[in-house]
């Protein structure tokens, strides 16, 4: 079952892979999401697709689902090259995708959700409601699931919603079933149920593509595994011949880029978090950050790192736990209070939360400190330009000129404006959430230099990043989160990519 | 992006003036009375009242909201002030202040429904549009206050001029200048644009978005109250249907004046010019003996043209920016 480039061509059509990507590439701006990736999904196999965040898994899934056209390369279905335009056409080709977040219509019944877009039609073209309910019931019976198909979806558990998505996928005789991290929000029992269903589909000759972060599940369910890294195909192999350690090595095995790091002696503890919890997001999170220290936060997407940051910054309220700032318990009701208290937060999504794109550099930088800068009614543009100029020069925002509208700047320079804006608040604690996502290599190095300098100046820095090499190179200590809990705390001396990945994927640390 | 649209909006303000000059020339040849001092004053006074309400509406629209209740506020204030004067409950200046205060109160109610009860503005103010009008009917009970009921000389203000320009126009100009300075030179104005342009980023920057939105609704009510008082002075005779349908003119003025209906950009000068433009068109169509139907249809067409132009311009700019960045 090894994959050789030419083999598929000679194979008779009847035995052709259910779906095949041949040297598919896809680029988004400066990011090469997929670089000449070839991949086969056979009939009657469960094929796991693994890789770090940003490795290209979701791009591959979206190309198969018809949501993105490939820039180059071919998509073959049952041996025929096809162009898939949109989700509806993917369905016509027999490709069913169960996305990580169920996308159901909460006010429609379960049966309607299952058959949406291909409702059974009675005479005179009207919907055959009874037939639809019966067919939906039959599907769920087959899956061994007890659900009232006439009741609305609203209020159902995540697991039930996933099952409805799967029933929906199976309702049109899918030949390819893509499960995109379906177990992220399921309990053990529900995962078992899902596996039974996936195996049933496999037995019927469906090609099942199983995208997952949980390695133990990959080994339990899949026949073969494909590893992607940085948009490239690393290996496809039968899972039986692999160990979790092999997989992790394949997932992270790139050269570590060197980052300029400024040596700093950590000072007093500035921020102390004890037993912080917020239902459904994170549980019992405790850590401390010292002045001059960079505390890295590693973990997979959805591990709860951003959620912790948002609570610390007063955007959301915790259910339990204590936060101490400079030894004093604090509880911030709003970002304004957190800013006042000396916390700054560079959010994950620059465009959504970081910047007012219509505003100039100066107007963006002054926004969080506008009341401090102008205690009286009027805004002084000269004073504003002076403060903004000082910080944007310090961070080397280019092109210079604080009157420029930020929507015209490059991503890297926009990010520098966001950081400048938060530095202008003169914080003690700086939370950086994915500070280098989507910016080019040169700007990235510059942001790293800035982070190092800020720590050396005595700021306590929380660095949340899904870029493992970045966390490893920058952080003095690393907290690894897995499904809302801290799964490891490592010093920079003992941390390796393997150890972090093991903790991030919820593996036992013993073997690593 | 909004800034660029604003820059183009500036040209819009210019082009509004140009279109008015050209059309005015044409109308003057067809209906010579158009350029008479009395007609121009009449147009200017009505446009001034709408412009004051439109300035308030512009503030609300910049924050991504809308206030549909302005016409009921104008009508209710106009009637209450007239009625208070009829029964000699208050002196004329006190009655005027009372009317403006009533407008402020109605705006505060709108703001509270939107920011405290978190009802979307379009629904909230659709509700108060009916409620305020209902209160108006309840109070008026089918009666009408006529000019004779009002104190002597009270309605003279509508025709008073300084340097040949009606007082109402001066007043509208003051409102535009003060609000314009408020928007562009004060902390509050900056917050209004930030909340309208990117509410999430504004919240993360520590702005109290709901306080900002509440305040613009209150100000919009206040300015509608001013417009209501002026309405009563201008028309003299007031019943419960005063200012019926005016919200279309107010919102149209804002949109035609280049305030982006999706928030974040626009100026009060544009909104005021939009009011003048619409008043001008309405007058021209009347003088040219076109039917009421054409008047309504042309209002609608002008709004559509303005919003469609906005959408096209924004898309063009986005495309060209994306291209620049890709390079």
Do the Cβ atoms of B201 and A315 come within 8 Å?
Answer: no
Which residues are CB-neighbours of B123 under 8 A, at least 6 positions away?
none
Rounded to 10 degrees, the C-alpha dihedral A358/A361/A365/A370 comes to: -60
B4: its two tokens? 């660029």
pLDDT tens track for B165-180: 899 999 999 999 999 9
A389-to-A127, A185, A339, B186, B314 alpha-carbon distances in Å: 65, 46, 21, 20, 29
Q: What is the pLDDT of residues B200-217, one digit of tens each?
A: 999 998 899 999 999 999
Residue B163, Ramachandran bin (φ over 0: left; ψ between -120 and 50: alpha; else beta): left
Number of domains in chain B: 1
Rounded to 5°, angle at Cα A211 from A466 and A149: 120
Q: How many CA atoms lie within 13 A of B250 on its CB side?
A: 31
3-state helix, strand, coil in chain B (%, to 5): 80, 0, 20
Residues 418-447, chain A, touching B (beta carbon < 8 A): 421
Q: What is the ipTM of this complex?
A: 0.82
CA pair distance B237, B149, nearest whole angstrom: 9
CATH of the domain at B165: 1.10.3470
Q: Which tokens sit at B62?
A: 């910049």
- Yes or no, beta carbons of A358 and B265 under 8 Å apart: yes
pLDDT in tens, A104-135: 888 889 988 888 877 777 777 788 888 888 88
Q: Which of B201, B207, B326 sits opposite A29 (nearest CB)?
A: B326
- Taking the C-alpha atoms of residue B227 and residue B81, their distance in angstroms, rounded to an integer, is 12
Mean pLDDT of A465-477: 85
The rounded Cα A240 to chain-centroid distance in angstroms is: 28
* CA atoms of A395 and A365, how far apart (whole Å): 12
CB-count exposure of residue A511 (10 Å: 0-12, 13-18, 19+) = exposed
- What band does A15 get if pLDDT is binned at 50, 70 and 90? low
Split at pLDDT 50, 70, 90, the class of A144 is: confident
State residue B322's pLDDT score. Answer: 52
Q: Do the strands A294-299 and A282-290 form a parallel or antiparallel pair, or are they unpaired?
A: unpaired
How far from A52 is each of A57, A241, A452, A464, A473, CA to CA, in Å?
Answer: 9, 21, 25, 15, 17
Confidence of residue A5 (pLDDT cuts 50, 70, 90): very low
Residues of A in contact with B210 (CB under 8 A): none
Rounded to a whole number of angstroms, the distance from the CA of A174 to the nearest CA of chain B is 38
Q: What is chain A's mean pLDDT, rounded?
A: 84
Secondary structure of A208-241 as H, E, C letters: EEEECCCHHHHHHHCCEEEEEECCEEEEEEEHHH
Contacts of A394 (CB under 8 A, 6+ apart): A420, A423
CB A365 within 8 A of CB A373: no
Full residue range of the structural domain in which residue B87 is found? 2-326
Domains of chain A: 16-252 (3.40.50.300), 255-342+427-512 (3.40.50.300), 358-419 (no CATH)
Tens digit of each residue's pLDDT (9 = 90 or more) over A333-381:
899 999 999 999 999 888 888 899 889 999 999 999 888 888 888 888 8
Here the tokens at position A291 are 């002045």
Query: B32 vs B77, which has greater pLDDT?
Result: B77
Q: How confident is the model at residue B319 (pLDDT cuts 50, 70, 90)?
A: low
Mean pLDDT over residues B288-298, rounded? Answer: 80
pLDDT of A198: 87
Residues of A in contact with B207 (CB under 8 A): 336, 367
Question: Average of pLDDT values for A38-58?
Answer: 86
Instruction: Report how far Cα A132 is from the mean position of its chain's Cα atoms.
Output: 36
pLDDT of residue A23 exceeding 80, the answer is yes
**Which among B190, B264, B321 is the nearest to A408, CB-wise?**
B321
Verify whether the Cβ–Cβ distance B193 to A359 is below 8 Å: yes
Sheet holding A328-330, edge to edge: A282-290, A269-278, A320-325, A328-330
pLDDT at residue B309 in the model: 73
Three-state secondary structure call for residue A27: strand
Please give the Cα distance from A251 to A53 (Å, whole number).
10
Residue A511, pLDDT above cutoff 60:
no
Q: pLDDT at position A171, please?
A: 83
Residue B258: exposed, middle, or buried by beta-carbon count in 10 A (0-12, 13-18, 19+)? Answer: buried
């Amino acid at each position: 079952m090894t994959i050789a480039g030419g083999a598929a061509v000679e194979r008779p059509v009847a035995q052709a892979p259910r779906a095949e990507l041949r040297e598919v590439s896809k680029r988004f701006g400066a990011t090469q999401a997929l670089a000449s990736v070839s991949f086969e999904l056979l009939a009657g196999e469960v094929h796991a697709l693994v890789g770090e965040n940003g490795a290209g898994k979701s791009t591959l899934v979206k190309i198969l689902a018809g949501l993105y056209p490939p820039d180059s390369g071919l998509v073959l279905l049952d041996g025929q090259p096809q162009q898939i335009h949109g989700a509806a056409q993917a369905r016509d080709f027999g490709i069913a995708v169960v996305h990580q977040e169920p996308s159901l219509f909460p006010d429609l019944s379960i049966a309607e959700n299952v058959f949406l877009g291909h409702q059974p039609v009675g005479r005179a073209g009207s919907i055959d409601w009874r037939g639809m309910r019966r067919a939906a019931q039959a599907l769920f019976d087959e899956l061994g699931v007890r659900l009232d198909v006439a009741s609305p979806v609203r209020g159902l558990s995540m697991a039930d919603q996933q099952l409805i998505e799967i029933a929906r996928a199976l309702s049109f005789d899918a030949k390819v079933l893509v499960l995109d991290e379906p177990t992220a929000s399921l309990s053990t029992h529900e995962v078992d149920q899902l596996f039974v269903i996936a195996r049933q589909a496999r037995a019927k000759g469906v090609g099942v593509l199983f995208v997952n972060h949980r390695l133990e599940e990959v080994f339990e369910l899949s026949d073969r595994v494909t590893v992607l890294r940085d948009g490239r195909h690393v290996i496809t192999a039968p899972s039986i011949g692999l160990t979790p350690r092999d997989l992790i090595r394949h997932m992270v095995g790139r050269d570590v880029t060197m980052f300029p790091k400024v040596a700093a002696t950590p000072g007093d503890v500035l921020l102390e978090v004890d037993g912080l919890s917020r239902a459904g997001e994170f549980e019992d999170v405790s850590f401390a950050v010292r002045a001059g220290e960079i505390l890295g936060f590693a973990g997979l997407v959805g591990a709860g790192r951003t959620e912790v940051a948002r609570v610390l910054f007063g955007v959301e309220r915790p259910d339990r736990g204590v936060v101490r700032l400079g030894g004093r318990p604090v509880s911030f009701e709003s970002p304004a209070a957190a800013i006042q208290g000396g916390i700054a937060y560079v959010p994950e999504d620059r465009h959504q939360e970081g910047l007012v794109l219509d505003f100039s550099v100066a107007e963006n930088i002054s926004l969080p400190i506008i009341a401090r800068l102008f205690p009286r009614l009027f805004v002084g543009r000269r004073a504003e330009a002076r403060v903004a100029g000082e910080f944007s020069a310090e961070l080397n925002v280019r092109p210079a000129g604080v009157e420029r509208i930020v929507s015209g700047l490059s991503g890297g320079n926009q990010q520098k404006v966001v950081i400048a804006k938060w530095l202008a608040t003169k914080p003690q604690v700086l939370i950086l959430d994915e500070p280098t996502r989507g910016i080019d290599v040169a700007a990235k190095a510059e942001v790293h230099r800035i982070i190092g300098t800020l720590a050396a100046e005595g700021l306590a820095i929380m660095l949340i990043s899904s870029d493992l090499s970045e966390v490893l190179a920058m952080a003095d200590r690393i907290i690894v989160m897995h499904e809302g809990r801290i799964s490891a705390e490592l010093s920079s001396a003992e941390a390796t990519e393997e150890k972090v990945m093991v903790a991030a994927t919820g593996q036992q640390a013993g073997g690593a | 992006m909004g800034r660029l649209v604003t820059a183009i909006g500036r040209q819009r303000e210019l082009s509004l003036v140009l279109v008015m000059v050209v059309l005015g020339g044409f109308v003057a040849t067809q209906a010579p009375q158009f350029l008479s001092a009395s007609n121009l004053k009449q147009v200017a006074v009505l446009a001034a009242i709408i412009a004051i309400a439109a300035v308030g509406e512009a503030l609300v629209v910049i924050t991504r909201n809308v206030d549909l209740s302005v016409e009921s506020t104008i009508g209710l204030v106009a009637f209450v002030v007239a009625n208070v004067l009829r029964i000699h409950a208050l002196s004329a200046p006190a009655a005027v202040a009372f009317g403006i205060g009533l407008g402020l109160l109605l705006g505060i109610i709108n703001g509270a429904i939107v920011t405290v009860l978190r009802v979307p503005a379009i629904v909230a103010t659709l509700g108060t549009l009916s409620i305020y009008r209902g209160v108006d009917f309840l109070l008026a009970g089918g009666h009408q206050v006529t000019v004779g009921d009002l104190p002597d000389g009270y309605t003279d203000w509508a025709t008073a001029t300084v340097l040949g320009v009606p007082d109402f126009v001066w007043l509208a100009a003051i409102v535009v200048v003060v609000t314009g300075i408020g928007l562009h030179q004060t902390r509050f104005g900056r917050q209004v644009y930030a909340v309208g342009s990117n509410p999430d980023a504004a919240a993360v920057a520590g702005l109290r978005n709901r306080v900002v939105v509440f305040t613009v609704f209150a100000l919009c009510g206040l300015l509608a109250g001013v417009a209501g008082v002026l309405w009563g002075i201008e028309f003299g005779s007031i019943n419960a249907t005063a200012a019926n349908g005016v919200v279309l003119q107010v919102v149209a003025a804002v949109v035609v004046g280049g305030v982006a209906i999706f928030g974040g950009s626009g100026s009060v000068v544009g909104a005021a010019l939009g009011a003048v433009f619409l008043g001008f068109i309405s007058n021209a169509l009347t003088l040219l003996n076109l039917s009421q139907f054409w008047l309504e249809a042309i209002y609608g067409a002008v709004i559509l043209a303005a919003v469609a132009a906005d959408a096209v311009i924004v898309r063009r700019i986005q495309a060209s920016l994306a291209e620049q960045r890709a390079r």
